[in-house]
């Protein structure tokens, strides 16, 4: 396959990703965590799965203190960490985003609050927005004992908050391995601001971040954060 044909295939896959009819979930003012993360100095890593990784990456790329945001796959094998396989729903992977952040600027519990306020509806099982399948499940993947304790406490807090009529479906999953997605998925919101999916589903999430958490909002997109 020549380079031009390869680009056409990649573009076709990108345009067909993360799409389908449904009603958008409204942002929710999730509560501040009662279990505050006690993190040591230095950059930390966190992994979040919350539906199509374009929007998850897009929101975190606008959060102050986030130094890197990479779209990828978590939960399955390296061999199956390919978009065409993951999007078919036959792997154990979830579309996920690995972020690197400075806890002196934004703590892990604050990232969780942002995630459940504007990115993912924690009551949806194996879907988010218009996207349905196990690959679109919402999951928290702790990278340390402290993150695990904070995540479990926060999910329990959300369950008692009364903000949602349905029970919390988001799970805490053990870290296996994270595999970066194909290059055309990285910085997708930045590269494709007029894409129909981005305008309909993901741009409103960034707008909600700006409106609800102005002290954490960064106007510039964290470009090429891999």
Residues in Cβ contact with 55 at an 8 Å cutoff, skipping those fewer than 6 apart: 18, 119, 189, 201, 202, 205
Beta bridge partners of residue 207, listed in sequence order: none
18: annotated active-site residue: no
CA angle 75, 77, 90 (to 5 degrees): 75
Cβ atoms of 186 and 100 within 8 Å: the answer is no
Q: Given the residues 30, 49, 52, 56, select the one marked as catalytic.
A: 52
Query: Which residues are designated catalytic?
Result: 52
């Amino acid at each position: 396959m020549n380079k031009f044909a390869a680009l056409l295939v990649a573009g076709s896959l990108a345009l067909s990703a993360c799409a389908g009819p449904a009603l958008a979930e409204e942002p929710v003012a999730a509560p501040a965590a009662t279990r505050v993360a006690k993190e040591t100095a230095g950059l930390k890593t966190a992994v979040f799965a919350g539906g199509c990784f374009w929007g998850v990456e897009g929101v975190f790329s606008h959060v102050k203190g986030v130094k890197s945001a990479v779209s990828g796959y978590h939960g399955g094998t390296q061999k199956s960490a390919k978009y065409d396989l993951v999007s078919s729903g036959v792997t154990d992977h979830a579309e996920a985003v690995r972020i690197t952040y400075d806890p002196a600027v934004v703590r892990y519990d604050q990232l969780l609050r942002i995630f459940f306020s504007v990115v993912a509806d924690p009551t949806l099982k194996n879907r988010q927005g218009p996207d349905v399948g196990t690959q679109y499940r919402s999951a928290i993947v702790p990278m340390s004992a402290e993150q695990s304790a904070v995540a479990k406490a926060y999910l329990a807090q959300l369950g008692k908050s009364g903000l949602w009529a349905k029970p919390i479906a988001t799970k805490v999953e053990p870290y296996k391995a994270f595999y970066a997605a194909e290059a055309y998925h990285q910085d997708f919101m930045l590269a494709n601001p007029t894409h129909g999916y981005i305008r309909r589903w993901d741009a409103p999430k960034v707008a909600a971040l700006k409106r609800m958490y102005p002290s954490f909002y960064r106007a510039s997109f964290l470009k090429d954060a891999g």
